[in-house]
Structure 1
């Protein structure tokens, strides 16, 4: 099982994403105060639908929920899926610690 915390400082929400691989799917649960994210907080994501950004189960669900284009949750869910499938090394994720976006000269 993988657990990821997303600090969405722009919208002031903290989301906890948990998931694990079960056969050919990744079962994901998102604990969130955001009403939009709640609309897709429980997912069974087919492994073969996380690899391409255009035909992507997670991105499709985020669009259906009308998530903002700058929402970090879909990206975090995809990273969780890649960790669970072994497409992203846990050692690399642990070494990185976090991802961030810095607004310079704003």
Structure 2
């Protein structure tokens, strides 16, 4: 299982995303108090490898349908957690680096 935390300080929500691969699907669980993200979690369902390999995928479509903010980092967190769980990204490297971030410079 891969767990990631998205700390969205601007909107004030912290979200924990869990990804667990079972066979050909990846189960996603999102823990949040954001109502839009709760709706996103309820409707996302399981992911397949196809959802992780192209830009136009179920995750982005569901984010749009659930009216997530365009700058919401949680869909990227879902993709990243699922890619690591599917071994498309090195878990050891992710755990070594600990985090990625966006910095506001001006």
Same fold per superposition (TM over 0.5): yes
Question: Where does the alignment leave 5 or more consecutive residues of structure 1 unmatched?
Answer: none
Measured against aligned partners, the alpha-carbon deviations of 1:42-95 in whole angstroms (never above 9, x if no partner) come to 4211221221112x1111111110101100000000001100110000111012
Q: More helix by proportion, 1 or 2?
A: 2
Q: More strand by proportion, 1 or 2?
A: 1
TM-score of the pair, normalised by structure 2: 0.93
TM-score of the pair, normalised by structure 1: 0.93
- Aligned residue pairs total 104
The alignment yields a C-alpha RMSD, in angstroms, of: 1.0
Query: Which residue number corresponds to residue 60 of structure 1?
Result: 61
Query: Which residue number corresponds to residue 40 of structure 2?
Result: 40
Measured against aligned partners, the alpha-carbon deviations of 1:12-40 in whole angstroms (never above 9, x if no partner) come to 10001112011111100101011111112
Query: Which residue number corresponds to residue 16 of structure 1?
Result: 16
* 8 A contact 1:46–1:57 mirrored in 2: no
Q: Which runs of 4+ in 1 moved over 3 A?
A: none
